[in-house]
Structure 1
Amino acid sequence: MSGVLSRLRRRQDAHSYYLTFAALLLSLTLVVDVVFHHNMDNRWFVWVLLVFCLSGAAATFAFGRRVPVWVGVVSVLVFLIAQAYFLSRSDDPASVIASVQQLPVVAFYLGWFVRPRLALALITTCVIVFSWVMAENPLLSVTGAIGTPVAVHGILGMLFCFAAGMFLWRRQMRVATVDPLTGAYNRQGMLDRLEYQLGKRSLNRVPLSVVVVDFDRFKELNDSRGHAAGDLVLSHTIGAWRSEIRSGDVIARLGGDEFVLVLPRANALEAQVIVDRLREVSEHPWTWGVAEAVPGESAEALLARADATQFEWKRVRRERQHREGLP
């Protein structure tokens, strides 16, 4: 039994854990309603929700990280519809209060695990619908048995938990896509943005170029002055580049001293102008290769062409130095 549980735990990620425990928490509130709420005339509906939550929790924990986000979104929509129903019950104060208390759990999920555009649309819809439903419920009026402050606190608590979830989502995305040393995008972050720009280019035919950058003799710098000095050179250089690039341009670090610039709205000649400007503010020399995207080209193929241009330029420069007797 312990071996099975260990394997199941290894399958989990933050999304599956939260979805599982949120479903269990909501199930527990429903169990409390079934056991202690004796005057409930919609008991069948509560049982349906209880079976739905328990089944969802078990299935989510079984599938672990393989559970797609859309499953959570559908579950949230089902539960939000249920909450709107319970909040409208003017003859059942206990159900209204329980529903208000459950809103932050769902809002936090929307903020953390759902893409911002969809999450903002859903939370806006929730605020409008729940505000309207609660305003129509006499229990939540100024003179009602529950009172307006409970409704206001419920909406504010939902918005606070949504904002907290959004903060965690942004931090998670930053960790996943940003290089901690330089603040540039990492490989995955760069590929995401490059593929997005290539998709836009297929629609509007606006030029797009990439520049592959490799710092010259960087290993010698690390060996002679230490890795801390090398890290400082990289961070200072990327900081200087940021003041020279255009809005929408992307700087990414592939690893070590290898970088990529993604330059939307720039053909190869315009990209070279940007490269010349960046070289002037760099404290360490580097070699580059430029490639302009062609219709139907993938991100990998475009990067490979820029990389090949860089290696060719390195080969030409080595041959020139060899002929001139330079080190």
Structure 2
Amino acid sequence: MHTFISKLYELTTSKIHFRFCLLLLACVSPVSAMFLQDQAYVMASVTTAVAGYAVMVIFFHGDYLERQCSLLENEVIKDPLTGAFNRRYLMDKLNDCLSVAKRTQDTASLVAIDIDFFKRVNDQHGLDVGDTVLKQVVRTVQARIRHSDRLCRIGGEEFILVLPSTDVIQAKVLADALRLQVSEAVFTHREEVTVSLGVSQLAKADSIDQWMKRSDQALYQAKAQGRNRVAVV
């Protein structure tokens, strides 16, 4: 019963229901006035119809502006090729993590991700295939991470994965899973693609630069160990 009431409340307060009521009012009022033949009622009905139509137009235009603002926001914070977040958004997210850590003693982790031998893919198969590889790697990672996690492209084949409320052990487990999933994925050029990953946990005295530098150091270690590896600093 409680679920039914909740659903009914959602319906009655939704934009769709409100527009339907306005449309019904705008259509029914003039028709009913024709049958009643009451001049005052006719004027009131016409006024109601016009007002209802005007409100509907305002709502539809409001939705259009809302969609346009959403598209504009995506253009500002997202990489147009892969759909991952961009460096600008990354810095905002890292600032948020530092702020939360100071207030709540919560932690967070970064995973630096680099596609192994990506230049070879571009050289041997062309830039179009390289772009496809980038997009598929991003889709593979995004399918595995939580809704609160953020994958950001910081340039070329390099990415940073921001993991709020995640310690280094949890981050390494996720990084290993991502490494395995990418290596097992089937790409359009029918060749194996692997990634190297570097993990670092936010320390109490960290600045953003220090935190990111440690994830870069871990990534370099993973590459030095032979690539297709996860390293932790």
- Kept in 2, the 8 Å contact 1:215–1:286? The answer is yes
Q: Does 1:162 align with 2:62?
A: yes
Q: Whole-Å Cα distance in 2 between the matches of residues 190 and 305 of structure 1?
A: 16
Do residues 298 (structure 1) and 199 (structure 2) align? no
225-234 or 162-171: which moved more? 225-234
Structure 2 unaligned residues grouped into runs of 5+:
1-40, 184-192, 228-233
- Per the alignment, residue 184 of structure 1 pairs with 84
* Amino acid in structure 1 at the alignment position of 2:196: T
- Taking only the aligned residue pairs, the percentage that are identical comes to 30
**More helix, by proportion:** 1
- Give the deviation of 1:163 after TM superposition: 1.3
Runs of 4+ in 1 over 6 A off after TM superposition: none
Contact 1:241 1:278 in 2 (8 A): yes
Greater C-alpha radius of gyration: 1
Distance 2:92 2:52 in 1: 40
Residue 266 of structure 1 aligns with which residue?
166
d(CA) in 1 for partners of 2:56 and 2:210?
49
DSSP 3-state at the match of 1:181: coil
Q: 1:299 to 1:161 in 2, by over 3 A?
A: farther
**Structure 1 SS opposite 2:83:** coil
Q: CA deviation at 1:144?
A: 4.6
Residue type of the alignment partner of 1:294: A
| Among candidates 154, 161, 176, match of residue 254 of structure 1 | 154
Partner residue in 2 for 1:225? 125
Q: Deviations over 1:159-180 (max 9, x none)?
A: 2222111111111111111112
Q: For residue 311 of structure 1, what is the amino acid of its counterpart?
A: Y
Secondary structure of the 2:182 match is coil
TM-score, structure 2 normalization: 0.68
Deviation at 1:224, TM superposition (A): 1.4
From 184, 188, 195, give the equivalent of 1:286: 195
Letter aligned with residue 221 of structure 1: V
* SS of residue in 2 equivalent to 1:281: helix
Query: Any idea what the Cα deviations from partners look like across 1:138-174, whole Å, max 9, x if unmatched?
Result: xxx9745972223223322222222111111111111
Do 2:151 and 2:159's aligned partners in 1 also have CA atoms closer than 8 Å?
yes
Does the aligned pair in 1 maintain the 2:154–2:160 contact within 8 Å?
Answer: yes
1:157, 1:297 → 2: CA distance? 52
The question of 1:309 aligning with 2:218 is answered yes
**Superposition RMSD in Å:** 2.6
Structure number with the bigger relative contact order (C-alpha 8 A, sep ≥ 6) is 2
Structure 2 CA distance for partners of 1:245 and 1:145, relative to 1, 3 Å? closer
Q: Is the 8 A contact 1:142 1:148 kept in 2?
A: no
**1:197 Cα deviation from its structure 2 partner:** 2.9
State the partner residue of 2:139.
Answer: 239
The separation in 2 between residues aligned to 1:163 and 1:145, in whole angstroms, is 27
The letter of the residue matching 1:160 is F
The 5 A counterparts of 1:1-327 are 143-144=43-44, 147-283=47-183, 284-295=193-204, 297-317=206-226
Unmatched 5+ stretches in structure 1: 1-140, 319-327
Q: 1:279 to 1:313 in 2, by over 3 A?
A: closer
Query: 1-side partners of 2:148 and 2:136: how far apart?
Result: 21
Deviates more, 1:244-253 or 1:154-163: 154-163
Letter in 2 for 1:231: D
- Answer whether contact 2:179 2:196 (CA < 8 A) is retained: no
SS, match of residue 196 in structure 1 = helix
Name the SS for the 1:297 alignment partner: coil
* Cα distance, 1:308 vs structure 2: 2.2
- Count of residue pairs brought into register by the alignment: 180
Task: Note if contact 1:202-1:296 (Cα within 8 Å) is conserved in structure 2.
Answer: no
In structure 1, distance between residues paired with 2:93 and 2:140: 21
Q: 1:280 to 1:312 in 2, by over 3 A?
A: closer
Inter-partner Cα distance in structure 2 for 1:190 and 1:249? 11
